[in-house]
Amino acid sequence: MQNFIYYNPVKIVFGKGTIPELAKLIPADQKVLLAYGGGSIKKNGVYEQCAAALEKHEVVEFSGIEPNPQYTMCMDGVALIKEQNIDFLLAVGGGSVLDTVKFMAAAALYDGAEPWEMMSDRGASIERVMPFGAVSTLPATGSEMNMAAVISRKETTEKCGMASPHLFPVFSILDPETTYSLPPRQTANGIVDAFVHVTEQYLTYPVHAPLQDRQAESILLTLIEDGPKALENPRDYEIRASMMWAAANALNALIGRGVPRDFATHMIGHELTALYGMDHARSLAVVLPGLLQHQRDRKREKLLKYAARVWDICEGAEDARVDQVIARTEEFFRSVGIPTRLSDYDIPADAVQKVAENQKKRKMLLGEHGDLGSKEIEEILRLRV
């Protein structure tokens, strides 16, 4: 096992009927920025529940946050926060709303001229942030229980991450009933996003970390068993609760402590989203099978463990088992309605080179060995046309 630090102070308030807890979770004297997306929370009753819980608070709204939230939009929010003397930020929605709030919480107190410098590949340090919490309504990104955020910048076709121990929400309310009204596409995207978060912390090379391996398998098995049921019976509370807790556990860092990690799928996927606007999870479903295929020898031992324990593939030659488990993974994505080839999304033929070139510019080597460059990324994507 590798040395590690584990720290996760998010207070999770989980279950039906928990949104009224907001009244106590945010001190009464705090002026609140209520941040949300395109208005779905006004249709499913979540907005009303939040408004009722915050009836004694002074509340300013910031709405219209879109998927793959943009830097300029975030900076508009920062201006509003300063103008309105906001004390506390509340994200109500999915990962995009949460990530917007995380960025704004840090940018509002950032000392430099250009808050974009806080993104991980620029590396300005994040010293302090405004307090913020969440009502999470979409199990997918895990942002509700971690210290990371991803923000996009259209003018430079960038989609970049940021991370800091200051970026944990003070609390996250997870009420599975808020997910009843999710469109199937978003439910399916969430399943795939959470699934890939786990494989990225599991399918690398073996160190002796039997607990982390089994904890990772626990989440994958839960997603495989209950994910399709969430699509079949969107108003099944127990299934929605299972999905919501699985997604939070997929990226709350626990399974990734003490083991190698390989976020190449996310990094390559971000390029596809920045260039072509692909749904985040769909970019992952395209990239992951290619990465596993390309890296099959270096990931062999973990792929065989994954095959046996998650998919019950135990018979036959090693190579055949690896083939099978990559195919089964792709089939699972397709079974929840997520296409897995670039051609399924009408991505132009030169996408492969474009992504590789973009990656080259950013000078980041990917993978658990830190040695996948633009050449390998091109090879991986060629497997996915």
Instruction: Return the number of the residue (16 or 122) whose C-beta is nearest a second copy.
Output: 16
Q: How far apart are CA 312 and CA 304, in angstroms?
A: 10
Residue 314 lies near a second copy (rule: CB under 8 A): no
Shortest CB 234 distance to a second copy, Å? 16
Interface residue with a second copy among 210, 232, 350, 363 (CB under 8 A) is 210
- Dihedral angle of Cα 78, 84, 86, 89, to the nearest 10 degrees: -50
- Residue 149: strand, helix, or coil: strand
Binding mask 155-194 for a second copy (x = CB under 8 A): ----------------------------------------
Interface residue with a second copy among 177, 200, 226, 279 (CB under 8 A) is 226
Q: With CA atoms as reference, report the closest residue to 46 among 94, 113, 101.
A: 94
- Residue 31: strand, helix, or coil: strand
- The residues in 258-277 that bind a second copy, with binding defined as CB under 8 A, are 258
How many C-beta atoms lie closer than 10 Å to residue 117's C-beta? 12
Strand partners, 31: 58
Instruction: Return the number of the residue (75 or 170) whose C-beta is nearest a second copy.
Output: 170
Chain center to CA of 336:
18
Q: Is the dihedral of CA 158, 96, 14, 234 positive or negative?
A: negative
Instruction: Return the number of the residue (9 or 64) whose C-beta is nearest a second copy.
Output: 9
Q: With CA atoms as reference, report the closest residue to 260 among 365, 370, 103.
A: 370
Instruction: Return the number of the residue (20 or 38) whose C-beta is nearest a second copy.
Output: 20
Interface residue with a second copy among 40, 68, 242, 293 (CB under 8 A) is 242
Residue 6 lies near a second copy (rule: CB under 8 A): yes
Q: With CA atoms as reference, report the closest residue to 33 among 70, 85, 93.
A: 85
Interface residue with a second copy among 99, 144, 217, 330 (CB under 8 A) is 217
Tokens of 372: 């996948």
- The residues in 100-129 that bind a second copy, with binding defined as CB under 8 A, are none
Q: Which stretch binds a second copy (CB under 8 A): 73-81, 238-246, 277-285, 328-336?
A: 238-246
Residue 308 lies near a second copy (rule: CB under 8 A): no
| 295, amino acid identity | Q
Tokens of 7: 């720290």
Shortest CB 60 distance to a second copy, Å? 28
Shortest CB 261 distance to a second copy, Å? 16
- The residues in 7-66 that bind a second copy, with binding defined as CB under 8 A, are 7-18
Shortest CB 147 distance to a second copy, Å? 13
Q: Read off the DSSP letter of residue 323.
A: H
Query: E strands within 154-305?
Result: 158-163, 171-174
Q: With CA atoms as reference, report the closest residue to 13 among 134, 149, 194.
A: 134
Give the interface with a second copy as residue ranges (CB under 8 A): 1-18, 208-212, 214-215, 217-219, 221-222, 225-226, 238-239, 241-242, 245-246, 249, 254, 257-258
